[in-house]
Structure 1
Amino acid sequence: MTPPSPTPGHAGLFVAFEGGDGAGKSTQAGLLRSALEAIGREVVLTREPGGTELGAAIRQVLLHGDHVAPRAEALLFAADRAHHVATVVRPALDRGAVVLTDRYLDSSIAYQGQARALSQDDIRDISLWATEGLLPDLTVLLDVSAGEGRSRRAGVHDRLEREADAFHEAVREGFLLLAEREPGRYLVLDAATEPVVLHQAVCRELATRHPGLSALVPVGDERAPRPACRSRAADPAGGEAS
């Protein structure tokens, strides 16, 4: 199978937050959403799996169901991603919105390709085919050790979170290998750093990479303007909700 060339052009901005379980991805995505709203940008905050109604059903099977064979697991994640990109991510990017996603295709490569010992190239090709080659403009990797991630998680764990530390260390290794191979797309940060410091680093990176975001100010900075409410969150009922 020959996947399409990655990342066709789009009017918006696509940022993915990646990392092991307990890395703080949702916290950083939420902070960046607030900072972008404050400068008047439309923001779509979403996640994988589960960013659509179909995705929510797939998420239930993947994270809260019984054993799923590794190849079936990989294909279910790809199916969720295909529908998510077609119905939420691409429409938002085409109208010029900023899309922030908690996990994207690199999670599949790290979890199924590396930790499940499937072919990383095959997993990447499947996801690129499913998304018509869409890669993030920036991938923020919050690097966390298996032990630190476990200590941060609440008492109730999903099927993947319950995997042994060796599995989560393999996931971590997979993410770091991806960042090493594609340094231009990645910002790698130590997840043990204070959340506000991580947020400042993400804002600096975006302002440097994208001249249109030169006015971006971290949440809590005294220079920050009042929020201009133009945000949308992905709605599992199928699309987006104000």
Structure 2
Amino acid sequence: MSGKFIVIEGLEGAGKTTAIKTVADVLKQNRIFDLVYTREPGGTPIAEALRNLIKNGLDNEPLTAKAELLMFYAARIQLIDNVIKPALSKNQWVIGDRHDLSTQAYQGGGRQLDNQFMTILRENVLDGFKPDLTLYMDIPPGLGLKRALARGELDRIEQESLIFFDRVRNRYQELAQHDSSIITIDASQPLEQVTQMIRQTLKTWLIKHGNQ
């Protein structure tokens, strides 16, 4: 059975951690036990150092939008080449907490960076590599940020305006509509319903792809 790359996406407070656990549970129920977990940015020493800079910044130097974008891609290619691709080559299944869709939504939608520039960068860095399945946890920004704030202090990006996150969500929804490998989950529902929807969605996907 060949390994697959499954990614969980969504705004802050969308329940990605619970979704990752649910996906892992379903895979194990289907006798898929060799799992690798990743997060972005992060997952390698270099990528984790970049994560810290992206999340917290430096007090004496503002981080520009393009610099932020390039740091995400630097961290991403380190993770892909050093962790994800080697795992897939060994038929391991990789469950990712965020991937390139986040960059398209946050930097493309939220930061409003030039689409042509982002497309050229993505194509040259990723060279067509993408997840086999993405579960996009869709939630209104106000509700998501309320949940995120209840967890503790917000990081540099989480402190952006509600208008910023509206743009992010709109881009997420737009991209999901045009990519059959992205399945939208209504994350504003009660936890039990969200979990059930994830379970059913993944089970259906596994059957369709001959992994059950």
Flag whether TM exceeds 0.5 (same fold).
yes
Q: Measure, in 2, the Cα distance between the counterparts of 1:88 and 1:162.
A: 30
2: CA distance, partners of 1:44 / 1:31: 14
Q: Does residue 61 in structure 1 map to residue 53 in structure 2?
A: yes
Q: Does 1:181 align with 2:173?
A: no
Q: How many residues in Structure 1 have an aligned counterpart in Structure 2? A: 204
Q: 1:108 to 1:213 in 2, by over 3 A?
A: same
Q: Which runs of 4+ in 1 moved over 6 A?
A: none
Cα pair 2:16 2:137 within 8 Å, conserved = yes
Structure 1 residue 121, shift from structure 2 partner: 4.3
Sequence identity percentage = 32
CA contact (8 A) 1:82 1:131 kept: yes
Task: Give the secondary structure class of the aligned counterpart of 2:55.
Answer: helix
Amino acid at match of 1:24: G
Deviates more, 1:171-180 or 1:194-203: 194-203
* Corresponding residue number in structure 1 for 2:71: 76
Give the one of 3, 7, 29 matched to 1:16: 7
Match in the other structure for 1:43 = 35
- Work out the CA distance in 2 between the residues paired with 1:173 and 1:135: 21
Cα separation, partners in 2 of 1:77 and 1:109, compared to 1, 3 Å:
same
Question: CA–CA distance in 1 between the matches of 2:197 and 2:152?
Answer: 30
Query: Where does structure 2 lack aligned partners over 5 or more consecutive residues?
Result: none
2:116 is the alignment partner of 1:135: no
Distance 2:6 2:163 in 1: 28
1:147 and 1:115 map into 2 onto residues whose CA distance is 15
CA contact (8 A) 2:41 2:47 kept: yes
Q: How does 1:203-218 map to 2 (within 5 A)?
A: 203-211=199-207, 212-214=210-212
Residue 148 of structure 1: SS of its match in structure 2? Answer: helix
Residues 67-146 of structure 1 mapped to structure 2, 5 A cutoff:
67-146=62-141
The TM-score, its normalising length taken from structure 2, stands at 0.89
Which of residues 173, 192, 198 in structure 2 aligns to 1:196? Answer: 192
Aligned-residue Cα RMSD (Å) equals: 1.7
1:140 and 1:189 in contact (8 A); partners too: yes
The one-letter code of the counterpart of 1:65 is: G
Return the alpha-carbon distance in structure 1 between the equivalents of residues 41 and 152 of structure 2. Answer: 21
Checking the alignment, whether the CA contact within 8 Å between 2:26 and 2:203 is kept in structure 1 is no
Query: Which digits, 9 at most, give the CA deviation of each residue in 1:107-130, with x for residues without a partner?
Result: 001111111111234324423432
- Asked whether the 8 Å contact 2:40–2:98 carries over to 1, the reply is yes
Q: Distance in 1 between the 2:76 and 2:89 partners?
A: 17
Question: TM-score under structure 1 normalisation?
Answer: 0.79
Checking the alignment, whether the CA contact within 8 Å between 1:15 and 1:136 is kept in structure 2 is: yes
Measure the CA separation in 1 of the matches of 2:36 and 2:166. 31
CA distance in 2, matches of 1:119, 1:19: 22
Partner of 1:170: 167
Q: Helix, strand or coil: the match of 1:210? A: helix
Asked if 1 retains the 8 angstrom alpha-carbon contact of 2:22 and 2:199, the reply is no
- Provide the C-alpha distance between the structure 1 equivalents of 2:65 and 2:142, rounded to a whole number of angstroms: 24
